[in-house]
Structure 1
Amino acid sequence: MKRLILSLVLLVTAWAAVAAADGGKADPRTMSFPELRFEIPTAERAVLECGMPVYLLRDTELPIINITALVRTGSVYEPATKAGLAALTGSVMRSGGAGGLSPEQMDDELEFMASAVESGIGPDMGTVSLTSLTKNFSRTLRIFGDVLLHPDFSQKRVDIAHKHLIEGLRRQNDDPKEIAGRELNRAIYAGHPLGAVPTFASANAITRQDMVDFHRRFFRPDAMILAISGDFDRGALLRELNAVFGKPAIAPPAALPDIPQPKAEFRPEVIYGKKEVNQTVIRMGHLGVTKDSPDIYALRIMDYILGGSFTSRLTMEIRTNQGLAYNVDSRFDVGRRFTGTFIAETETKAGSTGKAVSLMEEIIAGMTREPVSDQELKAAKEYIINSFMFGFTSPASIVTQRARLEFYGYAPGYLEGYRDNIARVTKEDVLAAARRHLRPEAFKLVVVGDAAKFDKPLTALGAVRELDLRQQPEK
């Protein structure tokens, strides 16, 4: 943290020196600065008696300790007939009490100590986090350990969480943006657990025992990594952690179910959701890449040039030149455990729907036809390299990032070599990556709006599958 502040101070000092030398009238177009040097902060890796890896970064600036547990679980491992189970489990682990402490007692005690313990489960990772004043850490850690390993799943809180899920399903078609995002994800990951969404039937099939069983299956010390930062004594901390997590388990090692990668099938599809609104929501995309792709650095640069900045090709043409939308962007969401996605999105007035879709597809296709310009390449590299340091703005972010790299199996030295790998990318690399991974002719296109107001029929873009957005029966 101190190195980051020092680097920023040096930048300001250099600018002030240039301005002073020119009487305070320096021209920003001709100013130059020394190369900004930034050392990537490190964190200590230790291993508890139970075999759990722990990343540690001590910081005494404030009397606060933060812990995040990364757990090998996720909604991809829930039964298809009980979609929503993982999210409910992750929520009720914290809200439903733990270790014999009732939900109300836990809420009151954490509030009294000004501590926080939170839990959740996403597609391929579960997390439980702790924030505590140093003086209250020992007690907060015990509660954290119970939430992580011994949740009680109070039936009352299970019922409340279930009602929230049902209410969310009732309202799931209120927001056109949520509809478009959900349906694009379902289309891209059709037939794969990543494309599953909760339904009234799946929600009503989930029981408290299902949550207990799901938790018991995945939340084990040998399936976790801890990231810890803050004002702690190393020796005392490790002793307390060993007391909470114990000795190695006698049970067989944890093993995740074998979930295959999504099928690499690229077939175009036009999906329409009728909503009587004046603004059309447009989403398009297809399967992307995993973190192991050799094109990962070229794609990062392509992202910036195509739709990842305020001066991107999509923004400059669709927003600035054509005035068709306030916001437009695109990105490769690189998959860490499973194949990610490429998505482009915008919202435009109904009368320019067809024009916006065609223009977006044409701009994206243009990335595959000829190399980017020298200026585009230079601007993208400078932004990515110079903004790299902002991924390390706090001790908690530093140590959590280190833990995530091990959690997802990144190669050693990934962070250390990131900037050099970006710097080595050529225009030819970007063009080759775009040709390999961009397939505008095979986009899943989702359009949500009022077709009666469109400038041209959606059938001009291909065969249309219309969504049924009516309220579905709950049982």
Structure 2
Amino acid sequence: MTKWAGLALLPVLLAGVGTGAVQAQAKHAAGVTAAEPWKKIPIPPLHDFKPVQPTRIELANGLVIFLQPDHELPFIKGGILIRGGSRDEPADKIGLVSLYGQTWRTSGTPTESGEALDDALALKAASVETSGGLATTSLRWSSFSKDFDLVFGDAMDVLLHPAFKADKLALAKRQLDTGIARRNDDASGIAGREVSVLAYGKDSPYARETEYATVAAVKLSDLKDWHDRTVAPNNMIVSVSGDFDPAAMEAKLRQAFEGMKQGKKQLVSKGEYKDPKPGVYFVNKTDVDQSNVYIVGLGTERNNPDYYALSVMNEIFSGGFGSRVFQSVRTRLGLAYSVGGAYGASYDHPGLFTVGAATKSASTVAAVKAMEDEIGKLKTVPPTAAEMKSAKDQVLNSFVFNYDSPEKTLSEQVSLAFYGYPADFLEKYKSGIEQVTAADVTRVANKYIDEKKLAIVVVGNGAEFGGPLTGLGAVTDVDIAIPPPVAAGGPGGLPPPQ
């Protein structure tokens, strides 16, 4: 529609409104600023954060139980978190925990196949699932309240009597091999992978990758051994939420778990963490017309006393549309399609400090320099009062919504217990954030961010860069070639296709 057509419609639009509305339209057209009454609405401060806490029970054999009743809907969800995950698997069998997590459930039990269990659960709109993670493996179930006893019985059967079938392991291996074959398709995925390698080291359990050879090395006996080693009450946390009577549920869980014997407790090695070697690490991907770039270093752990100040710093620097790095690199300079970052904090090992952007190939170097400039300003330009208020509001508002239901609170309490954090960690978060000052933000920025200990990852088409990467530092070409399948057979040790 042209502007003249729009003006022609104006009398028609005004014909259906009253005189007052016409006058308001006229005032607005004359440049009179309209009132903005929504800005006068008072915004009360956040009330004290007091999430409904689950009941914690510990059995004599070391099993920990969390119960979180919630009668809003007639459902019950449960989970068993088991200590030991992919970070604990042997280096020559990377992928074992992923294969275990899938094969465990698809194999079913000696008395009921995985397919038969699928059909029985589907008829009741219920589920029983298993999975493998970084620090844990888990078994989860859900059902209508009235079907709990039956579905929980199926879950316990899977927990205590896994079948681990060879054909299901072979299927899981083929799926892992497919992922290996395609892991270099996506430029952003490559960049994320290399960020972890630089920060933690290629042999770190937080950065290493599955390969055809490590997948092929996993045998059925490895899955059975892993299960026997990890499934023990003193290595498990059981959590149940939903529509149930707490006393009756506790009695059922005691009956199911009290007879289990303790096993060897799984210990986690703290490991050693070194800052990445500075420089530019370049992956030349010729089939793309934009670059994925990251500046990377080590972050911190959540039990760090400076965690609150770092959280506010992170929000000011890279927390969203109003953050410094977004406003500078994307809005003001127009150097990136997307830009952001995080000063990561994990429970029991350092998270990652990353600042990243997706930019057109020609602006690759300029985008990195702009991000580096903002990192420097974070240390030298104190946050304004407006930045502090906005950052705290953003952090606290988003934090509260992460725990706005009993089920979410239960999940976090399980995580805190698993990693040995105090139960009131959540309640202290609000006051911790509120007490952060502008001086604290500048202090932690200077204490924890050292430009000399940061590395740069660039994944893009080198022929189209607007300037040489050497302008950012010494360049190392990164080899992302995928080692071929084991010589004895095709992917996963299976016979090669005919």
What TM-score, normalized by structure 2, do the two folds share?
0.86
Whether the aligned pair in 2 keeps the contact of 1:41 and 1:392 (CA below 8 Å) is no
Equivalent residue, structure 2, for 1:124:
135
Correspondence 1:352 to 2:352: no
Task: Give the Cα–Cα distance (whole angstroms) in 1 for the partners of residues 276 and 190 of structure 2.
Answer: 22
Whether the aligned pair in 2 keeps the contact of 1:331 and 1:344 (CA below 8 Å) is yes
1:292 aligns to what SS in structure 2? Answer: coil
Task: Give the Cα–Cα distance (whole angstroms) in 2 for the partners of residues 107 and 154 of structure 1.
Answer: 16
In the TM superposition, residue 460 of structure 1 has moved relative to its aligned partner by 2.1
Correspondence 1:208 to 2:220: yes
- Output the amino acid matched with 2:245: D
1:197 aligns to what SS in structure 2? Answer: coil
1:288-320, Cα deviation, whole Å (9 max, x unpaired): 111221110001101111111210111111111
Query: CA, structure 1 residues 99+62, in 2 after alignment: closer, same or farther (shift >3 Å)?
Result: farther
Equivalent residue, structure 2, for 1:13:
none
Equivalent residue, structure 1, for 2:55:
44
Whether the aligned pair in 1 keeps the contact of 2:229 and 2:264 (CA below 8 Å) is no
Whether the aligned pair in 2 keeps the contact of 1:285 and 1:343 (CA below 8 Å) is yes
Whether the aligned pair in 2 keeps the contact of 1:49 and 1:246 (CA below 8 Å) is yes
Note the residue ranges of structure 2 that are not aligned, 5 or more in a row. 1-33, 487-498
Whether the aligned pair in 1 keeps the contact of 2:275 and 2:297 (CA below 8 Å) is no
In the TM superposition, residue 390 of structure 1 has moved relative to its aligned partner by 0.7
What TM-score, normalized by structure 1, do the two folds share?
0.90
Equivalent residue, structure 2, for 1:54:
65
Whether the aligned pair in 1 keeps the contact of 2:129 and 2:139 (CA below 8 Å) is yes
Superposed, 1:16-415 pairs within 5 Å as 27-38=37-48, 39-48=50-59, 50-98=61-109, 100-190=111-201, 191-249=203-261, 251=262, 253-256=264-267, 258-276=268-286, 277-415=288-426
1:98 aligns to what SS in structure 2? Answer: coil
Q: Which segment drifts farther, 138-147 or 102-111?
A: 138-147
Task: Give the Cα–Cα distance (whole angstroms) in 1 for the partners of residues 124 and 110 of structure 2.
Answer: 18
Q: Which segment drifts farther, 405-414 or 131-140?
A: 405-414
1:348 aligns to what SS in structure 2? Answer: strand
2:40 aligns to what SS in structure 1? Answer: coil
Task: Give the Cα–Cα distance (whole angstroms) in 1 for the partners of residues 297 and 162 of structure 2.
Answer: 39
1:367 aligns to what SS in structure 2? Answer: helix
Task: Give the Cα–Cα distance (whole angstroms) in 1 for the partners of residues 343 and 112 of structure 2.
Answer: 44
In the TM superposition, residue 262 of structure 1 has moved relative to its aligned partner by 3.1
Query: CA, structure 1 residues 56+204, in 2 after alignment: closer, same or farther (shift >3 Å)?
Result: same
Q: Percent identity?
A: 34
Task: Give the Cα–Cα distance (whole angstroms) in 1 for the partners of residues 209 and 443 of structure 2.
Answer: 35
Task: Give the Cα–Cα distance (whole angstroms) in 2 for the partners of residues 87 and 338 of structure 1.
Answer: 21
1:195 aligns to what SS in structure 2? Answer: coil
Query: CA, structure 1 residues 162+66, in 2 after alignment: closer, same or farther (shift >3 Å)?
Result: same
1:182-235, Cα deviation, whole Å (9 max, x unpaired): 111112111422221111211111111112112221122211112211011223
Task: Give the Cα–Cα distance (whole angstroms) in 2 for the partners of residues 370 and 396 of structure 1.
Answer: 41
In the TM superposition, residue 394 of structure 1 has moved relative to its aligned partner by 2.5
In the TM superposition, residue 265 of structure 1 has moved relative to its aligned partner by 3.2
Whether the aligned pair in 2 keeps the contact of 1:62 and 1:231 (CA below 8 Å) is yes
Correspondence 1:474 to 2:485: yes
Task: Give the Cα–Cα distance (whole angstroms) in 1 for the partners of residues 276 and 478 of structure 2.
Answer: 21
Equivalenced residues, count: 450
Task: Give the Cα–Cα distance (whole angstroms) in 1 for the partners of residues 207 and 398 of structure 2.
Answer: 33
- Output the amino acid matched with 1:228: V
Task: Give the Cα–Cα distance (whole angstroms) in 2 for the partners of residues 361 and 94 of structure 1.
Answer: 47
**What's the Cα RMSD here?**
1.9
Whether the aligned pair in 2 keeps the contact of 1:99 and 1:146 (CA below 8 Å) is no
In the TM superposition, residue 142 of structure 1 has moved relative to its aligned partner by 1.6
Whether the aligned pair in 1 keeps the contact of 2:315 and 2:323 (CA below 8 Å) is yes
1:4-52, Cα deviation, whole Å (9 max, x unpaired): xxxxxxxxxxxxxxxxxxxx96633333233332532221112346431
1:216-275, Cα deviation, whole Å (9 max, x unpaired): 2112221111221101122322232223223251x554132x523332334213211111
Query: CA, structure 1 residues 62+407, in 2 after alignment: closer, same or farther (shift >3 Å)?
Result: same
- Output the amino acid matched with 1:60: H
Whether the aligned pair in 2 keeps the contact of 1:318 and 1:324 (CA below 8 Å) is yes
Note the residue ranges of structure 1 that are not aligned, 5 or more in a row. 1-23
Structure number with greater Rg is 2
- Output the amino acid matched with 1:293: N
Equivalent residue, structure 2, for 1:4:
none
Query: CA, structure 1 residues 234+288, in 2 after alignment: closer, same or farther (shift >3 Å)?
Result: same
In the TM superposition, residue 124 of structure 1 has moved relative to its aligned partner by 1.5
- Output the amino acid matched with 1:82: K
In the TM superposition, residue 88 of structure 1 has moved relative to its aligned partner by 1.4
Q: Which segment drifts farther, 104-113 or 156-165?
A: 104-113
Whether the aligned pair in 2 keeps the contact of 1:50 and 1:242 (CA below 8 Å) is no
- Output the amino acid matched with 2:179: G
Whether the aligned pair in 2 keeps the contact of 1:74 and 1:123 (CA below 8 Å) is yes
Whether the aligned pair in 1 keeps the contact of 2:275 and 2:454 (CA below 8 Å) is no
* Stretches (4+) displaced over 4 A: none
- 1:442 corresponds to which of 453, 471, 477: 453
Query: CA, structure 1 residues 35+463, in 2 after alignment: closer, same or farther (shift >3 Å)?
Result: closer
Whether the aligned pair in 1 keeps the contact of 2:342 and 2:355 (CA below 8 Å) is yes
